[in-house]
Structure 1
Amino acid sequence: MSKREILTIQFGHYSNYIGSHFWNIQELGFDYTGSSKTECNHDILYREGQTATGETTYTPRLLLCDLKGSLKTLPASGGLPDEFENVEDITWESIEKIEEPVAPKNEFLEDIDSAGPSVAGSKQYRLEESVNTWTDYLYPRLHPRTVNVVKEYSHGDDKAPFDLFHLGRPVWKSEFGEDFSDNIRKYVEECDSIQGFQINFDCTDGFSGLALACIEDMVDDYTKPILCHPIIASHYPDNSPQTQEQRDVSNLKDSIRIVNILFSIEGLSQHSSLFVPLCTGEKGWRKPGSPRLFEHVTYNPKNYYHSSALLASALDTLSQKYRHKSNTYTLSDMCADMTGYGRKMAAASMGIPFTMNESEYLIDYLNRTTKPIYTPITPSCKIATDKMFQLITVRGIPETYLKAPLQNAKEQMNLPAYRCRDVQEMMELYFQANNFLSATNVTVCDKPLELKSPYPNIFSEKLNKNGFVTNGVSVDRIQSCPVIVGYHNGNFLTDMLEKLHREVSRVKFAKLHKFGEEGLEASEYQETLDRLAEFKDNYEDNFEL
């Protein structure tokens, strides 16, 4: 079986919050006994290595980047300081030893160290108060080249913040960019048949410029597709001002963030293969806005540990499309299918959990429901029901939930869907009936999303242990749940881009003093706005399937 490797890259603090949950989901889902069916080809995202002592390792094929002071309990070596395949490759003179105070570990990390991973993965934790950074709940150990720190800026430094798109590019042109590019090259050279790259980055601060500079160089160096998720955090501390002075500061920071988003979106429209903005807030552009609502889920949008878990769940399920063992669909296929007419931007959606009753059949659920079965997780976006192409992934719905046996079918037999033989056929029929002039590609995974610790406890007590709705309060803690996700592309994205263009146009260049100090000129700012408007024209109503 071809490995079809993918290199994952994460830029930014909130993206690393998402990444911690994402890699936890992967590793806590591994079956070391061989007793369960494995649908996912883990070699796509993971690499096998060996320590200097001959011990075999299996680590994410990952590069991540954050600011100095953000790692806390995670060593820069990623937790596997001895894993070097070729000890001769290390230039010991280049290693700088920096002694820093040891950060205290929470209960989850202490249990990993003392009781072992199996105990930590099965025990229930309340980490809301003890998570201060994404390393506080990171389960897997990482390859030594994975962690990359921007040393010129410190995490949480309000006096010299890494908050501008144009601060990222000089970092990339420094020794940091050379080392990062070298690490990309090393990963790529290890691969047998690399599919491409998936890049998640914070698009509201300096990591946006750093990520775009990296992407531009990758386009020059590699011919493989680059799937990008520009990410907007669920909340910012300045979003709840109490005084006029705080309101002024918040408005200025909002303006800076939306200009960073402008340069991110416009740059991705030129250099990425496909990009999908993500945010659990409804608006996303100037402020994240009200949190997106998911039935039977209660989460705190101010808590990154909560909101990032939702986006990680979406990314895990969305990526099943090109990681599934039985699916020959590749990252290249997905990018080609989703980007006709120069429409490189798509939207994403998620239904978590897929809200079927535990005593209900899928055919009855789809027949009775009148509301959307998924929620947008792309900012300022309402997903249309016609004239679009979409990739849908459904997981965790057993075939026994499909329809009643013939002898008990009763009214079900009068429905066309009763002729469907499996979940995929029934979902395809549902979208065919509900989406006019649209094309839908459906992937079905048997395994649900597993919700092992340290995944936050954000689900209703009305869900049973398998994530289906009960008629009362479940006596069992939820252990997994069915999920539906989608990538969607169509005319409806015109409105989303129009809102972004309108919001940024209200920001006067004369007020962007910090951008001007970093070399941004008024003409470049206007040209970027104009190119965004031109990109929006690709989504005008000329869609054909």
Structure 2
Amino acid sequence: MKEIITIQVGDYANFIGSHFWNFQDELLALADDPNGDPVFKSQDLNMDVLYRTGETQQGILTYTPRLVSINLRGSLGSLSSSGTLYNEVAPTPSDVMTWTGKVSTQSSEPHKKNLFLQSLYEEEQKLNTANEINNGSQREYQDRELIESLENSVQFWTDYSKVHYHPQSLYELSGAWMDVEKFDNYGSGRDAFSWASYGEEISDRLRFFVEECDHIQGIQFIVDDSGGFSAVAADYMENIADEYSNTPVLLYAVRGPDSHKSLKSKKRTISGDLHDAISFSRLSSYCKLIVPVGLPFLNESEASKFLHIKDEKPYHSSAVYAAALHSISLPFRMATVGPTTNASVSGAVDVNGVIQMLSGQARQNMVSILDVTMPAPALSGGQNKQSFLENLQSLTPQISEDIEDVHAVEYMTVQGALGSEGHRASVSEVKDMIDAAFKHADIRPMFCHLSAALCPLPIPLPFPSIFGDVVGQHGELMGTHITDSLSKGSLDVHSIPIAARLRSNCAVLPLLESRLRNLHRFGIERGAPGAQLLRSWGFEKEELEEMEEMLSKMVAALSPPQLSSDSD
């Protein structure tokens, strides 16, 4: 088995991760449900790639994500950092006192479980057995109450998590009685986080999961790079690069819509531009492939044409990004099957295979674009052969649209595609229709790897109500609006077809060029207005010039060749 360890750093990264693990939990539950849809029972997916088995002191078997989550103290809401399974008692402070000065104590009331978390707890305690015998309408009313509660009460990523975590998974940075809004740039992360103080403890968390792996295939990093957590992640990744040099790291650099707010002063604008340049440079130094994720206005993007997103709610936008990450990572745990018309999956590939595919073809490029279509349109129908590809919309900011790149490489995953009359398309039908779509497309990549799965994306109960009224129960698009009612959630939409794609493409040049330009203009050139700020962040000119050179090489690798001139 080839295991994957997931690392989530920062608040928004954990919002995405919470949805991601809810998808996995839903897949596990549907596979065990005797009355469930058969498509979820023969998935040909090895969930052990993402999960570990264990046992409590009471001899109870556990199945928990192979995960390290890092966030500020107080970010877990009502959840204990030791999780809920093992009931480990936190160490008590020593009675030995060496400090004779004044001591101030800061405390806060513990957060109460919301209605959804209370229902999970009661269900596990078997206190609501009688309620489960009630008729369907009563149960539906209860579920709608839970969904309404989530829409109105989510503050923390744990508020909608239905997954149990291992005590080694959840790490809170101590001393985090700080204003989160001040933790908004690379320098604040460096000031608050010292690898010498925290590094060994965080490394032990990762080491715990690595040492029990048979053959680790890679590390899936999700980092909120919009503020100080990019500095925390960069230090962590630097340590990983030293200790696990042969383990490929796939990095998703994510940020929520609120992180793109326009800054009011020129000084803060320069600080934000320098943060983006430094963060991207440092993070990309320690991974094999970096995927920037997060649009300024997801609700206004083409990616949300069938969705109703409230950008002010991280609970909403993170669900879309998590769905895309789930789909992209699905082939990492697909079973390798021979050619057969009855196969439920096709195109299994591991983390390193995808990295080599996207970064090691005609040119060296370690930056990839993430696209998604959710729900994916049906494959059948004359114009849909072409529109299926056209419906893939970017979740990566600052890219060029409809640009032709003869060296482009793509890695695509299609899940639960629908064919004619709403039936689930077979894997072979998906492959044939995608091949046909590429033949009719105006812009084609040099190479595309396709992975396909019969299993659609399940919609768990705590998924937000973001589907438009044209989306049917199984994610079929009904063409016309039915009502002007509220957005649909998990009670109305049980699963959806979804397609996601990573692209190595020169369309990402505007993002890279802006990072390079801002680093030089605000931090390096003579009289740069941000030079002093960067020194306060701990960067000397020599290190900044090395970052500039690295960014220049990234830009050069993707830029079209310049025609030489015979005249001097």
Please indicate, yes or no, whether the TM-score normalized by the shorter chain is above 0.5.
yes
What's 2:307 paired with? 297
Q: Distance in 1 between matches of 2:464 and 2:368?
A: 28
**Partner in structure 2 of residue 464 of structure 1:** 472
* Offset, 1:106: 1.7
1:77 to 75, 82, 91: 82
Instruction: Give the unaligned 5+ runs of structure 1.
Output: 85-89, 242-246, 283-287, 406-419
Q: How many angstroms does 1:441 deviate by?
A: 0.8
Mapped pair 1:264 → 2:279: yes
Indicate the residue corresponding to 2:98 in structure 1.
Answer: none
Secondary structure at the counterpart of residue 478 of structure 1: coil
Residues 362 and 503 (structure 1 numbering): CA distance in 2 closer, same or farther, change over 3 Å? farther
Q: Which of these residues, 29, 34, 59, is aligned with residue 27 of structure 2?
A: 29
Say if 2:453 is the partner of 1:445.
yes
Gap change, CA 1:33 and 1:389, over 3 Å in 2: same
> Residues 386 and 401 (structure 1 numbering): CA distance in 2 closer, same or farther, change over 3 Å?
farther
- Give the corresponding residue for 2:344: none
Say if 1:370 and 1:55 are closer, same or farther in 2 by CA, change over 3 A.
Answer: closer
Following the alignment from structure 1 to structure 2, what is the Cα–Cα distance between the partners of residues 17 and 320? 20
Q: Which residue of 1 is the match for residue 539 of structure 2?
A: 520
Q: Matched residue of 2:250: which SS?
A: strand
> Is it true that 1:210 corresponds to 2:225 in the alignment?
no
- Measure the CA separation in 2 of the matches of 1:541 and 1:79: 54
Q: Deviations over 1:331-366 (max 9, x none)?
A: 11111111023211111100111133xxxx624342
- What is the distance in 2 between the residues matched to 1:438 and 1:402? 32
**CA distance, structure 2, for counterparts of residue 345 and residue 486 of structure 1:** 13
> What's the counterpart of residue 320 of structure 2?
310
Please tell me the residue identity of whatever aligns with 1:379. Answer: P
Q: Does 1:540 align with 2:559?
A: yes
Does the 8 Å CA contact 1:72/1:135 hold for their aligned counterparts? yes
User: 1:188 Cα shift?
Assistant: 0.7
- Give SS of 1:129's match: helix
Letter in 1 for 2:327: T
Match of 2:333 among 323, 327, 330: 323
Q: Which amino acid aligns with 1:32?
A: D
Whether contact under 8 Å (1:165, 1:208) holds in the other structure is no
Matched, 1:107 2:115: yes
| 1:444 shift after superposition | 0.9
Q: Partner of 2:437 in structure 1?
A: 430
CA gap 1:446/1:457 in 2 versus in 1, 3 angstroms: same
In 2, the alpha carbon distance for the partners of 1:404 and 1:194 equals 33
Q: Please give the alpha-carbon distance, in whole angstroms, between the structure 2 residues aligned to 1:268 and 1:72.
A: 28
Q: Distance in 2 between matches of 1:129 and 1:240?
A: 26
Cα pair 1:203 1:260 within 8 Å, conserved:
no
Structure 1 equivalent of residue 261 of structure 2: 239
1:232 Cα deviation after fit: 1.9
Give, in angstroms, the shift of residue 514 of structure 1.
4.8
Q: Structure 1 residue 80: deviation in Å?
A: 2.3
Supply the AA of the counterpart residue of 1:484.
A
- 2:131 matches 1:133: no
* Aligned residue in 2 for 1:144: 167
> Which residue does 2:5 correspond to in 1?
7
Q: Which runs of 4+ in 1 moved over 6 A?
A: 90-95, 117-122, 402-405
Instruction: Classify 1:191/1:398 alpha carbon distance in 2 versus 1 (closer, same or farther; 3 Å).
Output: same
8 Å Cα contact 1:280-1:311 kept in structure 2: no
Shift of 1:211: 0.9
Q: Which residue of 1 aligns with 2:252?
A: 229
Superposed displacement of residue 111, structure 1: 1.1
**Alignment gaps of 5+ in structure 2:** 96-105, 133-138, 337-346, 563-568
1:380 equivalent to 2:364? Answer no
Distance (whole Å) between structure 1 residues aligned to residue 374 and residue 420 of structure 2: 20
Q: What is the Cα deviation at residue 91 of structure 1?
A: 8.2
TM-score after normalising by structure 1: 0.83
Q: How many residues align?
A: 504
Moved more, 28-37 or 142-151: 28-37
| RMSD of aligned residue pairs (Cα, Å) | 3.4
Distance of 2:320 and 2:454 partners within structure 1 = 20
CA distance 1:193–1:468, change in 2 (3 Å):
same
The offset of 1:467, in angstroms, is: 1.0
Once the two structures are overlaid, the 10-residue window that deviates more, 447-456 or 370-379, is 370-379
Would you say 1:485 and 2:508 are equivalent positions? no
* Structure-2 change in CA distance of 1:436 and 1:262 (3 Å): same
Q: Are 1:234 and 1:291, in contact at CA under 8 Å, matched by a contact in 2?
A: no
Structure 1 residues 438, 156: closer, same or farther in 2, change over 3 A?
same
Amino acid at match of 2:122: S
Secondary structure of the corresponding residue to residue 38 of structure 1: coil
Aligned: 1:196 with 2:205: no
